[in-house]
């Protein structure tokens, strides 16, 4: 084949019912379903070019090239992307090497799920450049193989990832478009350092916690409550379930072997203040991923005020504000 390229953008997403633990690590089949909202303005833009240069089987991994934010990647980062590209090569029946150029407009490794936007953009760009014309569900399934949460950055707005029974039916779909509810995520950044234990390693530890089985067994109930709160735009109901779900995931993390503690002092300060502000009548709730930063969900009309309140909290270095975002898209 001659050189073919495509460029795609995809938003990050914040899970409000979270994915933690896999039934199958290789296929990234999650222990439980999850619900998220896409984050407008926090995105990855990725260009994939399938090069004319043919390589013999097994050599693609060395041959692929990956540049992220202007830095050439090697080692584990490149290996993970090449293993994913092998899936695309297989689906498209090609043996070309890939040239991948990617840019994030937000800091990596701080609990703002760069792997979600990165693998969603890579899925769309790589598949289109390879001549594949995948349906949204097939794109989401493919993105899931790169990073579980990436399957939720393919569709737009408020999204649910069905745990499914296997590879075929474990994908994400939109449950409401971005304009359904004017919410925003105000991300209180308390540390921009790389997290010590990444999500992939964390998922593998989930079953070592005696609490994981309870968390997973109760997930259908939480998903149901969250879906209903979203569809009826009931902020109080949403707040209760979002904080419960985040607390449950961190309880599992803290009781794994070895235990994972992602919070810092200022994480707890923000959590306490968010609860106080809500008791005072402000529509706010918190959710924390595998990092110390706090995602504070609020209504769009309050986002500026909430961002100002968060910026004044000791230990908060900066606040990023993201409304609800759309689906992954091709650009150019």
Residues in contact with ligand DP6 by the rule CB under 6 A: 15, 18-20, 28, 34, 113, 115, 147-149, 199-200, 203, 289-290
Q: Which is nearer to ligand DP6, 89 or 152 (CB)?
A: 152
Q: What is the largest CA-CA distance in the chain?
A: 64
Minimum distance from CB of 5 to ligand DP6 (Å)? 25
CB of 122 to ligand DP6, least distance (A): 12
Q: Return the H-helix or E-strand segment holding 29.
A: strand 29-30
User: Which C-beta is closer to ligand DP6: that of 146 or that of 309?
Assistant: 146
Evaluated on CA atoms 75, 77, 80, 83, the torsion sign reads negative
Q: Which is nearer to ligand DP6, 203 or 222 (CB)?
A: 203
Residue 144 beta carbon to ligand DP6: minimum distance, rounded to whole angstroms: 8
Could you give phi then psi for residue 239, rounded to 5 degrees? -60, -45
Cα separation, 43 vs 24, whole angstroms: 28
φ and ψ of 112, to 5 deg = -110, 30
SS3 content of the chain, % helix, strand, coil (to 5): 40, 25, 30
Least distance from ligand DP6 to the Cβ atom of residue 303, Å: 21
Q: Which is nearer to ligand DP6, 53 or 204 (CB)?
A: 204
CB under 8 Å to 95, separation ≥6 — which residues? Answer: 54, 55, 56, 57, 60, 89
The DSSP bridge pattern shows strands 294-299 and 65-68 to be unpaired
Smallest gap from residue 296 Cβ to ligand DP6 (A): 16
Q: Which of 313, 309, 315 is nearest to 265 (CA)?
A: 315
Minimum Å gap between C-beta 209 and ligand DP6 is 14
Q: Closer CB to ligand DP6, residue 94 or residue 124?
A: 124
Measured from the CB atom, the residue of 97 and 215 that comes closer to ligand DP6 is 215
């Amino acid at each position: 084949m001659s050189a073919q390229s495509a460029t795609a953008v995809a938003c990050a997403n914040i899970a409000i019912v979270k994915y933690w633990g896999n039934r199958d690590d290789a296929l990234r089949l999650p222990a439980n379903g999850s619900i998220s909202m896409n984050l407008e303005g926090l995105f990855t833009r990725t260009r994939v070019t399938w090069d004319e240069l043919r390589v013999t089987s097994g050599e693609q991994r060395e041959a692929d090239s990956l540049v992220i934010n202007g830095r050439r990647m090697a080692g584990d980062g490149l290996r993970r992307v090449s293993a994913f590209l092998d899936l695309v090569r297989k689906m498209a029946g090609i043996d070309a090497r890939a040239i991948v150029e990617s840019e994030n407009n937000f800091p990596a490794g701080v609990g703002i799920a760069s792997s979600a936007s990165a693998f969603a953009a890579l899925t769309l760009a790589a598949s289109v450049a390879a001549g594949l014309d995948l349906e949204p569900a097939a794109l989401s399934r493919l993105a899931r193989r790169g990073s579980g949460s990436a399957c939720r950055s393919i569709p737009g707005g408020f999204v649910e990832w069905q745990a499914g029974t296997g590879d075929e039916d474990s994908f994400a779909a939109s449950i409401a478009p971005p304009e359904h509810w004017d919410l925003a995520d105000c991300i209180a950044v308390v540390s921009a350092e790389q997290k010590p234990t990444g999500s992939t390693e964390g998922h593998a530890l989930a079953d070592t916690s005696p609490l994981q089985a309870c968390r997973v067994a109760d997930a259908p109930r939480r998903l149901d409550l969250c879906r209903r709160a979203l569809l009826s735009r009931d902020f109080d109901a949403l707040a209760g379930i979002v904080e419960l779900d985040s607390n449950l995931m961190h309880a599992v993390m803290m009781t794994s072997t070895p235990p994972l503690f992602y919070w810092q002092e200022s994480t707890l300060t923000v959590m306490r203040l968010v609860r106080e502000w809500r008791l005072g009548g402000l529509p706010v709730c918190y959710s924390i991923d595998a990092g110390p930063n706090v995602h504070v969900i609020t209504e769009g009309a309050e986002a500026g005020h909430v961002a100002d309140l968060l910026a004044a909290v000791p230990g908060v270095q900066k606040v990023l504000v993201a409304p609800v975002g759309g689906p992954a898209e091709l650009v150019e």
